[in-house]
Chain A
Amino acid sequence: MSDTNSKKVKITLNGKEIEAPAGQNLLDAADANGVEIPRYCYHPGLSVAGQCRMCMVEVEGNPKLQIGCNIRCSDGLKVISDSEKVKNAVKWSLEYHLVNHPIDCPICDQAGECGLQEYYMEHGQYKSDMHEQKVNKQKVVDLGDHIVLDKERCILCSRCVRFTQEISKTSEFGIFNRGDRSVIGTVDDKPLTGNYQVNTVDICPVGALTSKDFRFEQRVWFLDETESVCSGCSKGCNVFVHHKKGKHIYRLKPRFNEAVNSYWMCDKGRYTYKDSNYDRRLSNAKMAGVDIPYSEAIQTWASDLRVLVATERTDEIGVWISPHHSNEELNSILDTFSGKLKVTKFYSENIEQIVQKDESVDGFLLRSDPYPNSKGFLSTLQGKKVKTQSTDDLIQTIKKGGVSHIVLICPEGQRILPEMLKISKVLSPFQFVIVLTPQLAAMEIFSAALSLPTLGHYEKTGTFINHAGIVQHTAAGFKMFKESHSVTDILNDLMIAQAKPAETRERMAT
């Protein structure tokens, strides 16, 4: 963590000597060396509370068991975390956690990734001695647009309380009452506000705080996990994409990256997956609204290009691009159009201005630049010596009849749709329009055009440069539609088809 200095000290953990930075939390040091000390209330991104009493360890020279989360690594520290004494303490701590827990796992969204379930399998007492009436508390408390609270399931680890105090600085959660009547809540069950609410769901070790968006949607053990980078703004928060066999994305979860987003992400970014999800996606290539095979779409496009190249009218090609694409895609777009086809008319939003004005919206993660790769966009354009004009310029040029072949490489998301609508209004049958988009909505705007489905953001392989110039790599983990392809692949196929039409047809047929 950031509060540790670089000096290394030697500590002994379970008889094995390990090295750790001086002052590092013992639990983190143990994690780094593959020893898991159970914990509920400790979270590396929050202050130490020491409430759950799960991380009991034996420290040499102290007859009493100590909590590991309140121990900082110092030279000569000797800790035992696997003795019978410790195991018994952990077993009983867990037993106390379960005394008043409703054990309603069948209807709990956390089941499958629940701290109680995990430690129960490992440290559980199995046969419970609790035969008394449990304390009943409020269930299904609506806390605004994103969160549902179940006070019965809560183990009062206070992670959410500390999160709202220390990270989101909204101080909304508190613990009310005392003893076994203690409950987590907001004053008068007021709804939560702010853009960082769902982080409390991520850090909740049990099913007390659950996300409304994910509520009852899917059991977590059905979900596959893919690493990616959020597409919501220029911050580029690292995320896990949780999807079922690549066919349906269910949620995004933040992925730890100290340099970018630490353990957190904003709610706005969290819901960017909705634009990448199956119900908003273009699944097939379409010509004037009718499904056509991908190969046929490429051939149609290529034949028009061939005419333009043969008659040396490539200056009639206009290409609209955005920084929503990876560096590799942008490179291939510029290589194809600027390099091979000598196109000079490139259009986009005024990205330079967006980058100049880019600032943190709320003092934390969310930034004003809505694109994940603006820095990459500018540097790629600079490298290829390409300048873009504005969307209004494109509209003017269309009106003047300066372009007859328009390629719109659309980004994902709702934000760009009004601009696309403006372009679609000035189009006439004289222009051949090709729309490369992952989204159904963009295709519907250009109903007469040739539409080719591209990959959704979370299916892409490539690099993105965030606002701070950090290059981040995403790796494809799934592909939602068979007929969708990356922009790079589409342009490659196009160039092959344009050069050798017959062979390409054969290749694609096989």
Chain B
Amino acid sequence: MSNLIRKPTLESKSYLIGIFKGLMITGRHFFMNLLGLSKRPTIQYPEQKRNYSSKFMGVHVLTKKENGEIACTSCMLCATNCPAECIHIVAAESPNPKVEKYPAVYEIDLLRCVFCGFCEDACPVDAVRMGRDYELAELAERNFVVGIDYLMNRPALNNKNISVFHEPHKVVTKTAVGH
């Protein structure tokens, strides 16, 4: 075993050189940052925000039909597909006689959610999308279980979350999906 233990070299014995080298690096960065001469890796959050990739998946969005009704038909394919089992849907007869089924309750437990986006892939009517919001801070655990009101009508969405499936001019190109 003893041959495995290396004898200390001269350089490692004279540790003051190492300390000095380290202090030089620290000092250089200190002054460069102080004088604004280098590119800083940090930003002034929350005044400044980063640009995320277009593929970024944040808090879910429930889309609407053009008349403002929820687009979801509560087929529960998202809940079926969800690996974290964080989607809870209670289906019911819609108050609109032209619509058969709608979700009376649509809840996502954001603490359980792993933001994989499988729900978006599973949805046959473009009713659930992965949004771009990521600032999740709440005071209580129960507040992370969000319902239809938050998912569909939160101010950040600006009422722009109209389902592709329910825009007539886009449906035309979509009819090629099987029968």
Contact = CB atoms under 8 A, between A and B. Distances in A.
Is there a direct interface between A and B, measured as CB atoms under 8 Å apart in the complex? yes
Interface of A: 98-99, 101, 103-107, 111, 126-128, 130, 139-140, 215-217, 219, 221-222
Contacts of A216: 74, 91-93, 101
Contact of A219 (B73, B76, B93): B76
A111 B101 CA distance: 14
Contact of B179 (A101, A139, A140, A222): A101
A105 B74 CA distance: 11
Nearest to B97: A140
Given A106-B125, A107-B75, A221 B80 contact: yes
A128 B179 contact: yes
A140 B100 contact: yes
A203 to B, nearest CB: 23
Interface in B94-125: 100-101, 124-125
By Cβ-Cβ distance, the 9 closest A-B pairs, closest first, are A106-B75, A216-B91, A107-B101, A128-B179, A103-B179, A219-B76, A106-B73, A107-B73, A98-B179
A325 B77 CA distance: 40
Nearest to A111: B75
Nearest to A103: B179
Q: How large is the interface on B (under 10, 10 to 19, 20 to 34, 35 or more residues)?
A: 10 to 19
Contacts of A217: 91
A139 B100 contact: yes
A294 to B, nearest CB: 30
A344 to B, nearest CB: 53
A350 to B, nearest CB: 45
Given A216-B92, A221-B80, A103 B178 contact: yes
B76 A128 contact: no
A101 B178 CA distance: 12
A331 B101 CA distance: 49
A219 B82 CA distance: 14
Contacts of B73: 106-107
Which of A139, A216, A217, A219 has the most C-beta atoms of chain B within 10 angstroms of its own C-beta? A216
Nearest to B178: A128
A37 B116 CA distance: 40
Contacts of B100: 104, 107, 139-140
Contacts of B178: 103, 126-128
Interface SS, B side:
loop
Contact of B124 (A106, A128, A222): A106
Nearest to B125: A106
9 contacts: A103-B178, A106-B73, A126-B178, A128-B178, A139-B100, A216-B101, A217-B91, A221-B80, A222-B80
A216 B73 CA distance: 11
Contacts of A139: 100
Which of A98, A99, A106, A139 has the most C-beta atoms of chain B within 10 angstroms of its own C-beta? A106
A107 B89 CA distance: 13
Given A98-B179, A101-B179, A139-B100, A106 B91 contact: no
Contacts of B92: 216
B54 to A, nearest CB: 28
A106 B75 CA distance: 4
Contacts of A103: 178-179
Given A106-B125, A219-B75, A221-B80, 15 more contacts: A98-B179, A99-B179, A103-B178, A104-B100, A105-B75, A106-B73, A107-B73, A107-B74, A107-B75, A111-B75, A139-B100, A215-B93, A219-B80, A222-B76, A222-B80
A130 B175 CA distance: 11
A265 to B, nearest CB: 26
Which of B101, B124, B179 has the most C-beta atoms of chain A within 10 angstroms of its own C-beta? B179
A130 B179 contact: yes
A327 to B, nearest CB: 40
Contacts of A219: 75-76, 80
A105 B77 CA distance: 11
A217 B91 CA distance: 7
Nearest to A126: B178
Interface string B113-157: 000000000001100000000000000000000000000000000
Nearest to A140: B100
B77 to A, nearest CB: 7
B77 A106 contact: yes
Nearest to A150: B100
